[in-house]
Amino acid sequence: MSEGYEILTLDEVEAAPHRGSNLIPVRHTLGFRPAGVNAWIADAGGQLIPPHEEDSGNEELYAVVRGRATFTVGEETADAPAGTLVYVPPEVFRTAAAAEDGTIVFAVGGSVGEAFNPGGWDSFALAVGYAQSGRLHEARAIMAQLIAEKPDYWPTYYNAGCFEAQAGNADAAFEHLRRAKELDAGGDSDEYFRGDTDLDPLREDPRFQEFLS
């Protein structure tokens, strides 16, 4: 096979735990750039898509690839056998659960009128998953990759800080968090510093005070 293309079998990709669901990190694995693409896998009764809303302008399409899902969008619920496509406009609540074992839902997302710009939440979920199973080396490699891709994007440093806090490395955590704070000119991170439970291991450390300004 040439460099220019790649084949992927969804249920052979290592899934990462993310907010009560199992993420198949398609975008991260392939490096696909035009849109957000990922998949979710669960057995009967399990959560497929974490309950959430998308930001203004962010459209999503879900395709049931295998099995059967139950979608909830807004206040409606619908049975979705394999081959069903579900479109969800921005700012509308959505979640889905599996109704059969091995159900897979493929998700595509993007913002109207904007070039797709991956926030990296999916890569971060993968890093957290690795960290939770003790594979810190692989987790750090992903965080280093995210930072290299977007060296001026504060959320990546913030997430790297959370990750090191959870791993018990306060010094490394503070280094990342300081960089996040420097880059976040608009103060968008303030509320996270105040309330994010990921940072709880650092809150008793005197150095944490500088982030609560």
Partner 1 sequence: MNTVHIDELDRNEMSDGFVWRPVRRHFGIQAFGTNVYTPGASGRVIEEHTENVYGHEEIYLVLRGRVRFTVDGDDHDLGQGQLIFLRDPSLRRGAVALTDDAAVLTVGGKPGAPHEVSAWEYTFAAGPHLRAGRYDEARRLLHEGLEAKPGNPAIRYDLACVEALAGESDKALELLNEAVEADERFREYAQTDEDFASIRDDPRFPR
Is 116 one of the binding residues for partner 1 (CB under 8 A)? yes
Which tokens sit at 200?
Answer: 């709880």
Residue 18 Cβ, how far from partner 1 at the closest point, in Å?
20
CA triple 204-143-161, angle to 5 deg? 15
Is 82 one of the binding residues for partner 1 (CB under 8 A)? yes
Considering only 47, 58, 70, 169, the residue that binds partner 1 (CB under 8 A) is 58
59 contact partners, CB below 8 Å, separation of at least 6 = 87, 88, 89, 90, 109, 110, 111, 112
Of 76 and 191, CB closest to partner 1 = 76
Of 81 and 187, CB closest to partner 1 = 81
- The alpha carbon dihedral of 15, 96, 91, 189 has a sign of negative
Considering only 45, 51, 74, 187, the residue that binds partner 1 (CB under 8 A) is 74
Closest CA to 211 of 156, 169, 154, 191: 191
Residues that bind partner 1 (CB under 8 A): 1-11, 26, 30-35, 37, 57-59, 61, 63, 65-66, 71, 73-74, 76, 78, 80-89, 104, 106, 108-116
